[in-house]
Amino acid sequence: MKHLLLQVAFLALSITAQAQTTHPRTTHKTVTHHAAAKVKVKTKTAAGPKVYYCASGNTVKYHASPGCRGLARCNAAVVPISLALAQQRMDPCKWCY
């Protein structure tokens, strides 16, 4: 009986519990993991001063111009983003700033 009650309690917790993860240096919003679904939502860039980053998926720095030497080895697209949004998720390039 005790074992059955523990299983029911665990099942109830696992159904209602949701795991949320964010990575501070990505362009994705909070990802909520449900039992079988994972959803990633791209954020929209806000108006304001623009900076640039490499859209390789593991970017941790933003740059003042698309010609920065920190972007020289970028094999993906160089994408503009608002400065405010970049400051929330990435660190500044050591050569640009």
Tens-digit pLDDT profile for residues 69-88: 999 999 999 999 999 999 99
Phi, psi of 51 (to 5 degrees): -130, 175
Residues 18, 32 contacting (CB under 8 angstroms): yes
Query: Averaged over 2-25, what is the pLDDT?
Result: 57
Residues 43, 23 contacting (CB under 8 angstroms): no
Question: pTM of the prediction?
Answer: 0.51
pLDDT at 67 over 90: yes
Provide the 3-class DSSP secondary structure of residue 19. Answer: strand
Q: What is the pLDDT of residue 85?
A: 93
